[in-house]
Structure 1
Amino acid sequence: MGKFNKDVKLLIEYLGGVENISAVTHCVTRMRFVLKNPQNTDVKSIEALPAVKETFTQAGQFQVIIGPQVSTFYNEFIAESGLTGESKDSVKEAAKQNMTVVQRVVANLSEIFSPLIPAIIVGGLLLGFRNIIGDMKLFEEGTKALVEISVFWNGVNSFLWLICEAIFHFLPVGVVWSVAKKMGANQMIGIVIGITLVSPQLLNAYAVTGAESIPYWDFGFAKVEMIGYQAQIIPAILVGFTFVYLERFAKKISPDAIQMIIVPFLSLVPTVLLAHTVLGPIGWKIGDVIATVVQTGFNSSFGWLFAGVYGFAYPILVITGLHHTLLPIDLQLIATTGGTYVWPIVALANIAQGSAVLGYIFLKRKSVEEKQIAVPACISAYLGVTEPSIFGVNLKNFYPFLAALIGSGIAGIVSMLFVATANSVGIGGLPAILSMQGNSMLPYLLCMAIAVVVPFVLTIIFSKTKLNKIAAK
């Protein structure tokens, strides 16, 4: 008999039986179901199961939070139910039948950027390390950085830029490829199109503002500026989707015998032409407008309040899954300004969730059962993954979640007052300090301290108030 045998049998029953399940898969902490009739689900009974931390419906899927042992639970569920486990992509596609148009757009954007996140995180950490050795004046009475006194570390600094440049300057290649992969188009052609956005033949996007003149292609009747779109996300998205739909059109009109020739030609050449005449300039402008709006909010006289609201609301976005759609804003700020002061607030929100759990652990320090759930959740949040904390402890008990929201809001305010800026998106939680720009590291340490102390203290205080009774109901 498996470890979760009883809970698995009851879960199947409470889901409305095997016949009510269209598809099932799992991720790091959650079981994900696509149900034929969601109204047949006994949610209260499911949430009362010992193995279940929380449930919610998002992106057309009924999701059951199990925690780090979800893979074991999933295997027992498959064995008991007789269902065939589906891939995450298959489940997502099935779930979209239950989604609105807006939800489908959000889901598609999230899926496009998900494969890019590991590279972006590594790049952020490397940029942070380059800041430490290249920008922080720690030697010779604070007048020189490590790279200025060491040939070896200067070489390391230069070498690491090779990786960082590949990740961030050439990010449009990854975006177009990801769109092609997501939409079922030719991925190699997608890569080629992406490269045409960042080719060395073009004027680098970072050099456009200060350029005395911009090179161009002269077609006699028209001139097209040879501008690159390094690190530009929105132009790459527009170009990617244009390629996908042109390829689909080309397949419809091309005879089968010559599709291998006609389809790549009719999808590649027009897409690249549109990229440099219409889509690129429009996408660049849209990106500038978005970055300007965000900058205006953060840089206004109420910027501190804007940051506080953002810090308070971000964990709520995590619950809905909408937080993935904020990544393009960070990337656009990085492309426009050379850094982001939005993502550091996100990392503080991660820390605040972990600190609220830490406060809960302190309160329940005599309960072995509670600590089995809370300790791994706390560690996970401090390393940037907050779902175990949010669903396993904080939201379930309410008062730690409120304490975390207030803590991340206050930390966000202080972060904006110092204009704490990161080179890039990186690992959330405590390791976020490695992604910060050199002059922001010390102020950000203060912000991190706030995100640790405030939620911890508030969790203990709230536990002695009526807020504690809300969770008990």
Structure 2
Amino acid sequence: MGKYEKDARDLLAAIGGKENVSAVTHCATRMRFVLVDPKKADQSKIENIPVVKGMFTNAGQFQVIIGNDVPVFYADFTAISGISGVSKEDAKSVAKQNQNPVQRVITLLAEIFTPLLPAIIVGGLILGFRNILEGVQFGFLGNQTIVAVSPFWNGVNGFLWLPGEAIFHFLPVGITWSITRKMGATEILGIVLGITLVSPQLLNAYAVNGTSAADIAKNWSWDFGFFQVAKIGYQAQVIPAMMAGFLLVYLERFFRKRIPEAVSMIFVPFFSLLPTIIAAHTVLGPIGWKIGSGISWIVNAGLESPLNWLFGGVFGAVYAPLVITGLHHTTLAIDSQLIADFGSTNLWPMICLSNIAQGAAVLAIVIAHRGNKKEEQISVPSVISAWLGVTEPAMFGINLKYVYPFVAAMIGSGLAGMFITIMKVRANAIGVGGLPGILAIKNNLGVGKGTGAQGYVIFLIAMGIAIVVPIVLTLFFRKAGIFNKIDRAEQAIPVTLDEIDAQVSTEAVVNATVAAGTKTAIVAPLTGELLPLAQAKDPVFAQGTMGQGVVIEPSEGKLVAPFDGQVTLLFPTKHAIGLVSDTGVEVLIHVGLDTVELDGKGFMTHVAQGDRVKQGQLLLEVDLNVIKEAGYATQTPVIVTNSADFQVDPKAEKQAIKAGDKVITVTHR
């Protein structure tokens, strides 16, 4: 009888039996199921299975946390179920069958934009700060902006445009790179393609609406004699960049299959890149502009119709999806025209409220997921960024990931937009988004009516709607499971740590009986900064699901044995190692987070699985720069995975430590 045969039988029954399993695989800590009908999984029964430490659903997979013994459990499960396992990638592929077309599109967007999030978050904070410096007229400054009266802040504002422009104006470069990276194409070709969409030789996308067709034909065109091609840039545009990126990938795949390998390095890039650039500037780009023009016409017609209150609700709700596509830039031309014709615009206030609503929805996620330190690195700055007028970090980083907060924000924004349209709230200027947008509100609610205070009070009420409604709806949707398939309130928070498959033995290496009260000192395997386990950036570790321990932020890349014992787990990608001490203490050291994706790059092992080791013996070396340059955290959890059998007393203070310093005391019960 296998070690976990009973638990495996119970789990098979609880997930709905063999016929309810489309695919199954495992990673370093979890069983990953693709279920035919996820509703058949009885979570209350699963929770009561002794070996199960938790569960959650993510990206179409039902994942059950087992711990270090997952390979043994997996072997017992496949033996009693008769289900053959598949690779992790195959399981992900099957999991997509559980997603509807909308979910697949959202998943694709998330996979493209996730690598861009660090830059988008920084850019959002920078542009939000610049909005305040250059766009807000303060009464105590004589109704002037900060940059108009302060040379210092004017200089700061000008300097900050450098990274702001690099991140958002040149966003197509990041998008085309990310698409080629995700789909396994040549990344440098994606970067080159993106540069051709934002080259200084092109008319900036922001200047197109202010440039006449005659001027474009004369000064901004390539003249081929019998035809011309407009030199139009696509700064900050998403759709043209995505269309071009996918075309590049498919062309590269097509030619790589048909061009002999001996000359593929020359001709595959040439025949892939050049036609894509031509298509981007002759077909894909113009199509994007046509889509934008169509949306602009609809917006303008809505503003002028007797049903403008209805338009306010609809526009308030759909503005956020426009931001996803990059088409929201087309509304700037309408705002400018409205200000020119009427001295104010009722469109910009709705845009400000949409910013606020998206930030409020993220704030609700912060509340619901409090304690998820890794997610808070994205969510908290995203709230600030959205409330300063830049919502891409909030939407791509959090709201689109979970879907339901995005919908809640759309509803709150729609209601707030309808309210201010009925109350005839208008803005004198554009450019100041989010919470500071109130400073751009027109002094009067209408000709001959009201005071400035009235306008501000009404907009404050609308801001309250845009904050309260998304927060309440986000928390309600999460609890009720509405628009929500991956983050039910009763489930564990979805996590992003993605360990590798590991077919390894976890047979016990300590058979001797250890007397109660026996103490084992675990020393730091790395030199760096010691942190409490709760500060781990991955919730599976931070919440103690895997066991008790500490986290080390390494400053050097040499990892040594934390005690005398034996190597029981050594992953093929070398990013994680398991050991057991001579006194029976089992420890998992996970070098960095998500470093499985490096597939061993930057890691070099000095021991093999099954080796005996002495405290301080070099186990592996890691190039920390490789991890950082790939965008992963170097934070290394050191976990006592059989904590239930011991009293584990880790050092709780944040402090500098050297390899060999005692960090955990373990006492046998």
Normalised by the length of structure 2, the TM-score is: 0.48
Mark the CA change 1:246 to 1:423 in structure 2 (over 3 Å): closer, same or farther: farther
Shift of 1:266: 0.3
How far apart, in 1, do the equivalents of 2:53 and 2:410 lie? 23
Summarize the alignment of residues 120-269 of structure 1 with structure 2, pairs less than 5 Å apart. 120-138=120-138, 140-212=140-212, 213-214=215-216, 215-269=220-274
Structure 2 distance, partners of 1:303, 1:49, is: 56
CA distance in 1: counterparts of 2:135 and 2:303, whole angstroms: 25
Does structure 1 retain, via aligned residues, the 8 Å contact 2:14–2:45? Answer: yes
Which residue of the partner structure matches residue 329 of structure 2? Answer: 334
Q: CA RMSD in A?
A: 5.2
The AA in structure 2 aligned to 1:134 is: E
- Residue pairs, 1:366-381, within 5 angstroms: none
What SS does the corresponding residue of 2:174 show, helix, strand or coil? Answer: helix
Question: SS of the counterpart of 2:262?
Answer: helix
Is 1:345 the counterpart of 2:354 in the alignment? yes
**Which of 462, 478, 486 is 1:447 aligned to?**
462
Q: Secondary structure at the match of 2:209?
A: coil
Stretches of structure 2 that go unaligned for 5 or more consecutive residues are: 1-6, 76-84, 336-347, 384-393, 443-455, 475-488, 490-669
Instruction: Give unmatched runs, 5+ long, in structure 1.
Output: 1-6, 65-69, 315-322, 359-372, 395-400, 426-431, 460-470
Tell me which amino acid in the other structure corresponds to 2:241.
Answer: A
> CA shift at 1:76, angstroms?
7.0
Structure 2 residue matching 1:159: 3-state secondary structure: helix
Contact 2:110 2:401 in 1 (8 A): no
Alpha carbons of structure 1 residues 176 and 48: separation in structure 2 relative to 1, 3 Å: same
Counterpart selection for 1:411 from 407, 416, 420? 416
SS state of the match for residue 201, structure 1?
Answer: coil
Instruction: Find the aligned partners of 1:350 and 1:201 in 2 and give their Cα distance.
Output: 36
Secondary structure of 1:209's match?
Answer: helix
3-state SS, counterpart of residue 224 of structure 1: strand
Please state how far the C-alpha of 1:248 moved relative to its aligned partner: 1.4
User: C-alpha displacement at 1:258, in angstroms?
Assistant: 0.5
Amino acid at match of 1:204: N
CA contact (8 A) 1:24 1:33 kept: yes
Q: Following the alignment from structure 1 to structure 2, what is the Cα–Cα distance between the partners of residues 281 and 196?
A: 15
Q: Report the CA distance between 1:63 and its aligned residue.
A: 5.6
Residue in structure 2 matched with residue 276 of structure 1 by the alignment: 281
* 1:133–1:248 CA distance, 2 compared to 1 (3 A): same
Distance 1:389 1:282 in 2: 30
User: In structure 1, what is the Cα distance between the partners aligned to 2:188 and 2:473?
Assistant: 53
Letter matched to residue 40 of structure 2:
T
Q: Which amino acid aligns with 2:119?
A: A
CA shift in 2, pair 1:15/1:118, >3 Å: farther
Higher strand share: 2
Deviation digits for residues 9-65 of structure 1 (CA, Å, limit 9, x no counterpart): 977763357994525689xxxx99541533683246469889999977x86x1467x
Taking the aligned partners of 2:223 and 2:132, their CA distance within structure 1 comes to 45
1:136–1:113 Cα change, 3 Å: same
CA spacing shift, 1:298–1:10, aligned 2, 3 Å: farther
Task: For residue 260 of structure 1, report the CA deviation from its aligned partner.
Answer: 0.3
1:193 offset after TM fit, Å?
0.8
Residues 425-440 of structure 1 mapped to structure 2, 5 A cutoff: 433=435, 436=437, 439=440
SS of the residue aligned with 2:210? coil
Matched residues in 1 for 2:239 and 2:16: separation? 43
The C-alpha deviation readout for 1:177-198, integer Å capped at 9, x for no partner, is: 2222222211110110111111
CA offsets, 1:347-379, max 9 Å, x none?
A: 426637967999xxxxxxxxxxxxxx78669x9
1:314-365 CA-to-partner distances (Å, cap 9, x unmatched) read 9xxxxxxxx9x66424x2113552797457436426637967999xxxxxxx
The answer as to whether partners of 2:357 and 2:470 remain within 8 angstroms in 1 is no
1:91 deviates by 5.7
Fraction of identical pairs, as percent: 42
**Closer, same or farther: CA 53–347 of 1 in aligned 2, 3 Å:** farther
> Any residues of structure 2 matched to 1:8-23 within 5 Å, and which?
14-16=14-16, 20=21, 22-23=24-25
Aligned pair in 2 of structure 1 residues 174, 407: CA closer, same or farther (>3 Å)?
closer
Secondary structure at the residue paired with 1:144? coil
- On the 8 A contact 1:22/1:33 being kept in 2, the answer is yes
1:51-89 Cα offsets, whole Å, 9 max, x none, are 999977x86x1467xxxxx9xx575795784499998x7
Q: 1-side partners of 2:53 and 2:459: how far apart? A: 36
Q: Return closer, same or farther for 1:110/1:298 CA change in 2, 3 Å cut-off.
A: farther
Cα shift readout 1:400-419 (whole Å, capped 9, x = no counterpart):
x99x9986654343366646
> 1:463 maps to which residue?
none
Partners of 1:174 and 1:335 lie apart in 2 by 21
- What secondary structure does 1:217 align onto? strand
Q: Which has the larger radius of gyration?
A: 2
Q: What is the distance in 2 between the residues matched to 1:41 and 1:110? A: 28
- After TM superposition, the score normalised by the length of structure 1 is 0.65
Distance 1:238 1:154, change over 3 A: same
Higher relative contact order (CA 8 A, sep 6+): 1
